[in-house]
Structure 1
Amino acid sequence: MPQTIVTIYSRSRCPLCDKALALLLELKEEYDFDLEEVDIESSDELTERYGLMIPVVHIDGEEAAYGFVNKFDISNRLQQKKEI
């Protein structure tokens, strides 16, 4: 079974991003997934796309959450992936 990839789009000096990352690191103890962090400031396209939405969390390329990232919602999505 391919490894699930969770990507967080964020930027430095972003308290919501820090909270979302901490939440994902917590979930990583419960679910097996690769975590990728992408700083949107590394790309004009990403800044334009996600600038007002960050943090944005994708699970296997699908947008799962943005702004206030909810642990329960992400956990449910990871559980669904695990069951497939």
Structure 2
Amino acid sequence: MAIVFLRIKKIACRERRDSLFILYTRPNCPLCEEAKLMIQLVQEDFPLDYEEINIETDDALHEKYMLMIPVLEKNNKILLYGNIGYADLLEAL
């Protein structure tokens, strides 16, 4: 019984992670703050779960995204980067 529960829990966690948007940011980034505000506006009308990750906490992420942030990603695919607007987010959904 416990094995079945663990499998269900792992599948649920994997599905949640797959449906989660990731927003790569860094401190003192005006475009990042603007992107978060746009996400909040979209969240008023549409479900949009996201996790914010600071690229400065990981050297590989910093090297990959330092010239692109903010970057919105889902399922390891970059959806938007740079100046992210409300209409852009709606299109990405």
What is the TM-score of this pair, normalised by structure 2?
Answer: 0.74
The match for 2:54 is 39
Aligned residues between the structures:
77
| Higher alpha-carbon Rg | 2
The secondary structure found in structure 2 opposite 1:30 is coil
| CA 1:71–1:60: 2 relative to 1, 3 Å | farther
Moved more, 53-62 or 13-22: 53-62
Q: Taking every aligned residue pair, what percent have the same amino acid on both sides?
A: 34
What is the TM-score of this pair, normalised by structure 1?
Answer: 0.82
The match for 2:3 is none
What letter is aligned with 1:11?
R
Match of 1:58 among 73, 81, 88: 73
Moved more, 18-27 or 28-37: 28-37
The match for 2:12 is none
Distance 2:41 2:49 in 1: 13
Larger proportion of strand: 1
Q: 1:1-80 to 2 correspondence within 5 Å? A: 4-78=19-93
Moved more, 68-77 or 46-55: 68-77
Moved segments of 4+, more than 6 Å:
none
Distance 1:38 1:19 in 2: 15
Distance 1:46 1:61 in 2: 13
Structure 1 residues not aligned, in runs of 5+: 79-84
Moved more, 61-70 or 18-27: 61-70
